[in-house]
A and B are shown apart, each in its own frame.
Chain A
Amino acid sequence: MTLPFRRRHHDNESSHDRARSLISAGLDGLLETTDQAWLEAHLARCPECTFDAQAYRDDRVLLRGLRDNPPVAPRDLWARTSAAIERESQRGRAGGSPATRLGTLVPARQRVPLGVLSGGLVVLVVAAAVALVPGGTPVPPAASGGSSLTAVITEPPGPTQIAIPNADSVAWIQRNADGSYALIQAPVSAACPTSDPACAPLPAGSPTPLELGGPPQDVVLSPDSDQVAVIGPGGAAGGTVLIVSVPSPAPSGSAASPSPSQPVPTTVASRAPVSPAPPTQSPTSSSPASSSEPSIAPSVEPVSGGHAIISGVQVVGGTAYSASGDWLAFSAKPIAGGGPFLYAWHVGDDQARQLTFNGETYFSGWFGDEIVASEVLPVQLDAGAGSPAIVGAPRSFLLDPATGLIERFRVDTAWLPSIDPTGRFVTYWAGDLLPVFATDEIAPSGAPATPAPSASEAAQSIIGWRLGQGTLVLDGWSAPLAATAASTSPGASTTDSSAGSSEPSQAVATPELAPSVPGAAPLQPSDAASAQPETPAVGPAGTSVTLATTGVSAFDARFDPDGTKLAIWVADGSDSTVGRLWLDLLDPVLGAIRTGAQPLPSPGVPALHGFSLLSGRLGWVTPAGQDGQLSSVHILAWSGDDFGQVQTVPGGNPQIVR
């Protein structure tokens, strides 16, 4: 255990941890000789660990006792299961196989005397293939031993039934069989009314090769679809944010005939403007049989190189372009320490500019051309029994990156708000935050505030924040876009940093802003104190409705461009990368969530973190293992009140481009 501030009365704690680890490994027969000798020596002088070792052995006996009376499966379980598999088989034969069996074929097996399934299967093969596939032509399985993804995604659209005339295209990063990456953009023009397995997979345009050292942390497409921002994972040397120009998406089906030409990959690993990198091995030249990843037909169109707008940082949270496409903003921690701070990059500039210089500021999104961000105020509370505790009080604000002016929210408990682009709704976490210490193990959401020996010691070891008590809410927005823009003035900048917080004993200063335009002075905390006190004009209207409550460890909630759809992703409590995604329909006239049938089944569909919500469609990636499948890109598309779904063939570790 590595709980913070834990103390033992003697000896080095790490030696006890090691002993417990070795005791456990010894139970599994995994102990090496040197470890065995060390453990024996340790146990000889440590009665506590000797006691633990005996307890582990006793507990194992208890656990193995559960084997003696196993639950007995119902008698009809096979009948039910085989019937379900038969139904699945019929659907599968109509829709084609989802994937190619990788590696060697299964040898012929001895039939077991259950005999319910296979006889029926043989009969169904012909009937289903001919009768159930529209047009009488079954979708062929992926090409064996070759480029399975290419073979399927370039199929012409199948029996789609809903025309989607005005949806934005969807883009994702796909990993090829040889470990290289490609950016794929796909127009969304039609979708199936339900998750019809007979529906053709999403047709894709030409892949654009990307040369990445590993899976990116995040990828964001500009509104004009002419460039992507690739956020690299921050390691010991820090990560980079690279801007990569991309060609216009090719029309649907253009990849149907993979070109034999070598691709010219985009180099995005460089930290400076670079010329296109030399060709690398063609993705299709690898042996599919030796890999579980599908291949993608390469694009023959060269693309410009990547340009690092910042390096040596760990990007924290999301990254997004402004609606106009003029700005890109994010928050990041420099490897030198401190932060996270806000950064913005004006398209065309050489480097991103740091906007805040103290405290902790977290980028949340855009409202027009203003950044929406949050900061945290560590608050020391008396948790009783003389044991102090620290919680984080969130505050949010709008920041104009062009002028450096900020407007604070009228409420003090909003964390990571997302404002409807039309200025009618806002969604945010209403509650407090709990500190994450350098030595902390993430505890379940809703756990009591972490005790700390002293405020100063605790504050120094805080490395981040997680959701505490609170709810994810939808609220009205008090100032429409036009009014907000008009109210932005040099006099209405900040309020007292401690105002509204619950008696903080240690409050961070208001974010110190950098001069963002020539001649403008940075806004210092002292400036804020001397500014005319003014009630913030913007913020939630105070008519909130709860969207999600207990069990929320992380969330992402965003609106579509016309403010009539709200996509909400909530993480699973034990894994912040996997969660559930649903879409609420908003009635802008009534200011309410529309009731009735939901476009995605309640309580949401399994989705990896990072969805993409634009006009006419919502895109996400399913976690591997859902329905026993590899990950795939799923699209919910709509035209008016008609909704449909379409998806790619599973495989390739796709990562949605937001």
Chain B
Amino acid sequence: MTGAWNHDEAGIFVETLFAKHHSEIYAYLVRMVRDADLAADLTQDAFVKAYRAYATLQKDENARAWLYQIAHRVALDEIRHRKIVRMVPWTGESRGAAPSAEHLAMELRLSGPLERALDRIPQRQRDALLLAEVHDLSGLELAAALGVSHVAARAILTRARESLRRALAAEQEAERLAESRRDAERAASLRGGR
């Protein structure tokens, strides 16, 4: 079926993509949304959307970046979805403003200065760092995944590195102060016990 969208071909193609890339896509989505169950759902969504969008992939060699782009959009959509707070009744009451249990669980999973620092930098920069350093996307792949130009992707990555450096420095300083406080409390406790 030259030039036409072929369901069988799309199915086989996505099956192949899944076999090769589902682990890294899932890992990326876990890091983006910090919720394993949600990330699994989003991974499923991403591959279904890849199946639907098969016709838009122009070169097979771009498939990995294309898949990351779809997964990235799926996750951003979910994140946006959570941000909107709406009020329907005429009473002035809000709905959906309280943090969800899922959100609290996500917060609890944060551990270590690196993850806390990553959480402090802008979403787009965090995504760029994860894609480039953890998922090893090249400059062109990163640009495709983020949906920006190559030059813009480089600029985002530069800002991301600087943001992370500052955020990590702040986290490390906070940890140092906390450790000093604990040492002081231990010392005070020991003195009190004598």
Contact = CB atoms under 8 A, between A and B. Distances in A.
Interface of A: 1, 20-21, 23-25, 27-28, 30, 52, 55-56, 59-60, 62-67, 70-74, 77-78, 80-82, 84-85, 88-89, 92-93, 97-103, 105-107, 109-112, 114, 116-118, 121-122, 124-125, 141-142, 144-145, 292, 444, 544-551, 570, 572-574, 579-580, 582, 584, 590-593, 595, 598, 602-604, 606, 625-630
Contact of B157 (A1, A24, A573): A24
A60 B161 CA distance: 9
A554 to B, nearest CB: 13
B23 A70 contact: yes
Given A92-B52, A630-B56, A101 B134 contact: no
A62 B78 CA distance: 28
B114 A125 contact: no
5 contacts: A66-B31, A97-B7, A100-B5, A107-B60, A604-B86
Contacts of A627: 49, 52-53
A545 B91 CA distance: 7
B87 A118 contact: no
Contact of B26 (A56, A77, A573): A77
A629 B59 CA distance: 16
B141 to A, nearest CB: 12
Contacts of A570: 84
Interface size class for chain B? 35 or more
B4 interface: yes
Interface of B: 2-9, 11-16, 18-19, 22-24, 26-27, 30-31, 36, 39-40, 43-44, 47-60, 69-70, 73, 76-77, 80-81, 83-92, 94, 96-97, 114, 122-124, 129-130, 132-134, 139, 147, 154-155, 157-159, 161-162, 164-165, 168-169
Contacts of B130: 63, 66
A73, A144, A603 — most chain B CB neighbours (10 Å): A73
Contacts of A72: 23
Given A547-B87, A584-B88, A625-B69, A24 B154 contact: yes
Given A63-B114, A144-B4, A545-B87, A84 B48 contact: yes
A592 B96 CA distance: 20
A628 B122 contact: no
A634 to B, nearest CB: 15
Nearest to A288: B3
Given A71-B27, A629-B56, A603 B7 contact: no
A118 B12 contact: yes
Contact of B56 (A102, A141, A574): A102
A85 B133 CA distance: 31
Shortest beta-carbon contacts, A-B, top 6: A628-B53, A144-B3, A97-B5, A628-B49, A592-B90, A99-B55
A629 B15 CA distance: 19
Given A74-B40, A77-B22, A549-B94, A67 B80 contact: no
Given A73-B43, A81-B43, A630-B56, A141 B91 contact: no
Contacts of A62: 114, 168
Nearest to B86: A603
B133 to A, nearest CB: 4
Contacts of A82: 15
